[in-house]
Amino acid sequence: MLAISSELPIVDCQLIRFGVISEEEARRRILETVSPLDERAVPVAAALDCFAAEDYFARLPLPAFDNSAMDGYAVVASSCKKGGRLRVIGEQPAGPDRKLCVGGGEAVRIFTGATLPQGADAIVMQEDVTRHGTDISVNVDVEAGEFVRRCGCDLAEGQMILARGDRIRAATVALLASQGFADVIVGGKATAAVISTGDELVKAGEELQAGQIYDSNSALLGALLQRCGVSATVVEHCRDDRKSLDDAIKRGIKNHVLIISGGVSVGEHDLVKEALHEVGAKIEIWRVAVKPGKPFLFGWFESETVDSAGDTPAGPTGTMPVLHKCFVFGLPGNPVSAFVTFLQFVRPAILRMMGAMNLDLPQVPAKLAVGLTSDGDRPHYIRGRLEHGKFMPFGRQESHALFGLSQANALLRVGVGQSLKADQIVDVQIWD
Ligand code: AMP
Ligand code: MG
């Protein structure tokens, strides 16, 4: 039950009408509310972990021309028998095509990546020949195609190399570069602010008094944001009083995403809902049937700003009013609850804003090391270790147990009433 003390401002009825909703509904409503940010062009070298906003197709085949896979000699295989002697008629290093032509009884000295001379259909490794001045004798049998990298054998011109919504990985960056793309069009860049609330919180480096704890959620949420490719532009700590919370929220909502940790539960010191409501945020969700993380909150705030470019005359004033939307996530203060709700609700929303197609955490099958039964009324995310295909719950399964979480590398969702047996194959979520 929501307790309201007489000193607190009267709570608007909007705040009381919330029922606990299912995880699936929460996720659906969040993903329906958030939308992709404006696309942008970034240099390929800076596109790591961005999401492609267009489909990309090969402009060039790979390899782009027939070339040598070895340092050696380009030959005509049919005239190159073990023990035979060939005359070396020229040299083709990697680089400009010297347009050499090789015939029977001849060889061209060649190096890795160099264009295959006309007429040649095989390369003999330099280790397999003996050099005698301008001749070589061949010490092996040679077959057509040996050590030749044929044009297009890896990738054909026009083949899709990157699909809209795909994450750009290190090798994708290389592939785009191999095609001569200087820039790539990717999803928008989200900015995020993190506010940690709580009178008990102390910043790292400061001295702890009795009853105080260090703020670990700011660090946790900053790290989880980084994993999504977003760096928190603002990280603030504020006390459980409305003035500092209101001020911090007003600063935070200038970003695309505002994450507030703590103060979203039902105690008298949980002021986040009222504060958000007061600044005009629309609260869509408060409380989700998930363990840990039930007090999770989601809402959004919209404001009119002026386009900073200002040089695109759109009206009499010459400035363009732009609607700025900030999506607000209130996560419970307990570190494991903050972690689980971030991964289940905040991460997919941010990925959607950034133009990602796949919003799910990677899942891998694992053999359950012990039997597990859920007797609660909410799905339970069990933290554990996934090692050699086996999942073992690890540490205390309570929402404050940060050490256990730090040792875990996988989450197992146990549904309401679900009973899982030892050795059963289950899907676990991974995040690192
Ligand atoms: P709250 O959600 O504000 O009721 O906090 C629930 C629990 O989480 C309390 O034990 C808090 O002390 C703890 N907590 C809240 N914020 C943080 C934080 N930033 N870092 C570590 N623990 C926190
Ligand atoms: Mg608190």
- Cα 16 to ligand 1 centroid, rounded to whole Å: 23
Q: What is the pLDDT of residue 306?
A: 61
Cβ atoms of 31 and 349 closer than 8 Å: yes
**Cα(197) to centroid(ligand 1), Å:** 8
Q: Which residues neighbour ligand 2 (ion) by CB within 5 Å?
A: 198, 262-263, 333
pLDDT at 10: 38
Give distance in angstroms: CA of 338 to centre of ligand 2.
12
Mean of per-residue pLDDT scores for the chain? 93
Tens of pLDDT, residues 374-429: 889 999 999 999 999 999 999 999 999 999 999 999 999 999 999 999 999 999 99
pLDDT, tens digit, for every residue of 142-190? 999 999 999 999 999 999 999 999 999 999 999 999 999 999 999 999 9
Name the residue with tokens 């010191």: 269
Tell me the best of 197, 201, 342 to mutate to test the pocket of ligand 1, counting ligand atoms within 8 Å of each CB and taking the most. Answer: 201
Instruction: Write the residue with the smallest CA distance to atom 15 of ligand 1.
Output: 333
Instruction: Kindly indicate the confidence band of residue 300, based on its pLDDT and cuts at 50, 70 and 90.
Output: very high
What is 242-295 written as a DSSP string? Answer: HHHHHHHHHHHTTSSEEEEES--SSSTT--HHHHHHHTTPEEEEE-EE-BS-TT
Query: Cα(335) to centroid of ligand 1, in Å?
Result: 7
Residue 7 to residues 200, 264, 268, 346, 354: CA-CA distances in angstroms? 21, 18, 10, 33, 42
Long-range contact list for 318-326, CB < 8 A, 24+ apart? 324/254, 325/256, 325/300, 325/301, 326/252, 326/253, 326/254, 326/255, 326/256, 326/257, 326/258, 326/300, 326/301, 326/302
CB 9 within 8 A of CB 327: no
Q: Which atom of ligand 1 is nearest to the CA of 196?
A: 19
CB of 168 within 8 A of CB of 186?
Answer: yes
Question: Which residue's CA is the nearest one to ligand 1's atom 11?
Answer: 333
User: Span 347-367, mean pLDDT?
Assistant: 98
Instruction: Give residue 243's identity as a one-letter amino acid code.
Output: K
Distance 240 CA to ligand 2 centre (A): 7
What is the C-alpha to C-alpha distance for residues 373 and 421, in angstroms, rounded to an integer?
A: 8
Which residues line the pocket of ligand 1, CB cutoff 6 A?
196, 198, 200-201, 213, 215-217, 261-263, 265, 332-335, 400
Residue whose CA is closest, atom 14 of ligand 1?
Answer: 333
The answer to whether 37 and 188 have CB atoms below 8 angstroms apart is yes
CA of 50 to the centre of ligand 2 (A): 34
Contact 272, 195 (CB under 8 A): no
Which band of pLDDT confidence, cut at 50, 70 and 90, is reported for residue 432?
confident
pTM for the whole structure: 0.90
| Cα–Cα separations (whole angstroms), residue 395 to 383, 404, 419, 426, 428 | 8, 4, 20, 19, 17
